[in-house]
Amino acid sequence: MSPLVPGSRSAARGMRRTVAAGVPLAALAALAVAGTATGATAGSGKPSGRAAEVTGSATLGDLPLGGFSNRLLPGTVADDRGVDLGGIGSDIYPTGRKGEFWTVTDRGPNGQIKVDGSKRRTFPVPGFDPAIVKIRVTGDRVKVVDAIPITTRSGKAVTGLSNQESRDEKPYTYDARTPLSYDPNGLDTEGIVRAADGSFWLVDEYGPSLVHVSARGKVLTRYVPKGLNLKGADYPVVEALPSVLLNRKINRGFEGLALLPNGDLVMALQSPLSLPDGDAGEASRNTRLFRFSPKKQAVTAEYAYRFDAVGDVDPGEDDTSELKISSVVALGGDRLLVEERTDKAARLQEVRLTRGADILGDRWDDATTSPSLEQLDDPAASGVPVLGKRLVVDLNTVDGVQDKIEGVAVVGHGTLALINDNDFGMTDGTGAFDANGRLVDSGIETRVTYVKLPKGAL
């Protein structure tokens, strides 16, 4: 954990933003207007007549990404192309002190540009190293008070670049013209929890994988699906996850992670697997949760989870493939809070992980099973013990909640802390950068929002 002092930048923005420069990182903040809201639902899945409300909102100020990264690992970022620190909303986990949270960035600034009719994945800041970021919410400001770079066994940046040519999108420069090298160390980090010994557990979308990281950020072990055959990584790679996960949709691997009271971990697959093919996965509402025992270093259970209809989650959306799980939160015992979302809306469901719902090693883990779990319109009718769920709150009905919520934490009794992924201010397409290769910022900020739930909702 290192004290950080950022550099400075003066740049035009697409909309008014607070800029801080040349001051200690822990003092960086931006202003946001706290608001209140009404109109929540809880309990049985129908409006209860009671209200959830936003009780506070705080915003992260502008911090040049190059200054942030190079203070952690000198020389990693040669040119940040005008991008500020963002993307820390991949998850949020309480530190144990009021208003303080651990967060984690994803793989870094990235986008898509169509070239000759095909989309290419761009990495405008290819030297960026994913980081664990400790924040403090004070009033309407989010302050970065510490940061830990995620590193290989030899102390080098893992980077956020694609891993395998045969499996992941080919990485390109910011303008999608020049290919970049694959990096077997690369991680697209998402969920985060902290173990009792001070180490961290993260999930990654590439493998998908579960990653154990020391308190100082060094990758201790990366657990990947059996048969992945990831070669060349500068840290231990263990094939311990079910091979059916090799069929994950690109950019939709593990996203949510929860730490149960007994020390077990629950990993949520963001989207349905592409079984038997991509079309089936795109149309499916059936995804999966996996339970992992750190003591046994093995998956010990698997659960089928069925999304609500996309129009129920997001009344403005009709594309089922937009459904995602982004956050899972342990509520005590075997109870979980699960976030179903699109980019514009989110609903939180409570589930209980029962022994009778375990499908690990069943025929649904066989990629040749036909029809696949993902193809079932009514899994329960086919004998699949789908997890029962209870709607806790429809965040789409709570005024003041931002879009693209990816991190959820329970703080205090009946209060949630929500954080969004602002994608580092990136957008897709050729207009993402100006003629000088500098970011045309989307103006979307990273925000932490507190939502008070009705009594008895949790």
pLDDT tens string, the chain, 458 residues long: the values are 433 333 333 333 333 233 333 333 443 333 222 332 323 333 334 444 479 999 999 999 999 999 999 999 999 999 999 999 999 999 999 999 999 999 999 999 999 999 999 999 999 999 999 999 999 999 999 999 999 999 999 999 999 999 999 899 999 999 999 999 999 999 999 999 999 999 999 999 999 999 999 999 999 999 999 999 999 999 999 999 999 999 999 999 999 999 999 999 999 999 999 999 999 999 999 999 999 999 999 999 999 999 999 999 999 999 999 999 999 999 999 999 999 999 999 999 999 999 999 999 999 999 999 999 999 999 999 999 999 999 999 999 999 999 999 999 999 889 999 999 999 999 999 999 999 999 999 999 999 999 999 999 99
36-57 in b/e form (b: 16+ CB < 10 A) is ebeebbbbebeebebbbbbbbb
pTM greater than 0.85 (yes/no): yes
Provide the pLDDT for residue 166: 87
393 strand-pairing partners: 348
Q: Which amino acid is at 330?
A: A
Provide the pLDDT for residue 43: 35
Provide the pLDDT for residue 7: 35
Report CA 180 to chain centroid distance, whole Å: 24
Length of the chain in terms of residues written: 458
Q: Which amino acid is at 156?
A: K
Q: Could you tell me the two tokens for 140?
A: 């309407």
Provide the pLDDT for residue 8: 35
Residue 450 CA to residue 452 CA, distance in Å, equals: 7
Residue 111 CA to residue 108 CA, distance in Å, equals: 10
